[in-house]
Structure 1
Amino acid sequence: MHIRGIRGATTAPANTAEAILAATRELLAEMVRQNGVEPDEIAAVLFTCTDDLSATFPAEAGRALGWNTVPLLTAREIDVPGAVRRCVRVLILWNTPRSQEEVAHVYLREAEMLRPDLTRGARRARGPMPPESA
């Protein structure tokens, strides 16, 4: 058994508790669904959010999913010029026998641009990808 990291990110449409929690719940649900994660397999979950999201802690979305015994931590992203705005990032530390190559990372909404290499298949169904920058 190994600890593997599942990365994910999404954006909230507004700096409100409802918008932040809805976007984070959607992201967590998709990360769990794509990887077949069971709550008792989760070692911990780290959440970060950009400076423009301050209405609530994204980690509250984990509690709403019933992750009451899972260690959850929210931190602030550094404010990098040109970074994706209103962005919540998640790292689930998962106890699993799977290899790192078998882990599905999930990027939703405007956060898809953070890892186009991981979202290319999803984007292909909706149309061509913009040219990648160097």
Structure 2
Amino acid sequence: MTRGVRGATTVLENKENQLIMNTKILIEEMVAKNNIQPSDISHVFISVTEDLNAGFPSKALRKIPGWTYVPVMCMREIDVPGSLQACIRVMMVVNTNEDQQNIQHIYHNKATKLRPDLLSKRGE
């Protein structure tokens, strides 16, 4: 079965090192909390808000050992008025035997506003 694992984070400034560092921290927690190995990953989509253009957050994956062959694509998030800015969103598609309700979606920094319903189910 394939399942989507969601994650999102924000950065303080539009700087390449922040985009890469925050994405790497997010991805590492997503895989740790969901017991994911690189060979279990079908692909990863990463979107950024319009205000983030200093670099590719996908470079973060290449800094993680064993991730050389994981397909990844970056894209721009829809620019909805009033939406969260400076945000990096991740959709990781993985092969897993976990039931959908057991997948742990990870939200950092100001991105916790995106899915408070998921955070409260885990007691965070």
TM-score scaled by length of structure 2: 0.94
Partner of 2:38: 39
- Is 1:95 equivalent to 2:98 in the alignment? no
Detail structure 1 runs of 4+ shifted over 2 Å in the superposition: none
Partner of 1:5: 4
What secondary structure sits across from 1:8 in the alignment? Answer: strand
Aligned mates of 2:37, 2:71 — CA distance in 1: 15
AA paired with 2:115? R
Q: If you compute each CA radius of gyration, which structure gives the higher value, 1 or 2?
A: 1
Q: CA deviation at 1:119?
A: 1.7
Q: Deviations over 1:64-117 (max 9, x none)?
A: 113110110000001111111100000010001111111000111000000001
TM-score scaled by length of structure 1: 0.88
What's the % identity of the aligned pairs?
41
Which residues in structure 2 correspond to 1:12-27 (within 5 Å)?
12-27=11-26
Partner of 1:131: none
Ranges in structure 1 where 5+ consecutive residues have no aligned partner? 123-134
What secondary structure sits across from 2:57 in the alignment? Answer: coil
Partner of 1:126: none
Which residues in structure 2 correspond to 1:1-134 (within 5 Å)?
2-66=1-65, 67-120=67-120, 121-122=123-124
What secondary structure sits across from 2:18 in the alignment? Answer: helix
Ranges in structure 2 where 5+ consecutive residues have no aligned partner? none
Aligned mates of 2:43, 2:107 — CA distance in 1: 19
Aligned mates of 2:73, 2:10 — CA distance in 1: 18
Q: Structure 1 residues 65-74 or 105-114, which shifts more?
A: 65-74
C-alpha RMSD of the superposition: 0.8
Aligned mates of 2:2, 2:105 — CA distance in 1: 15
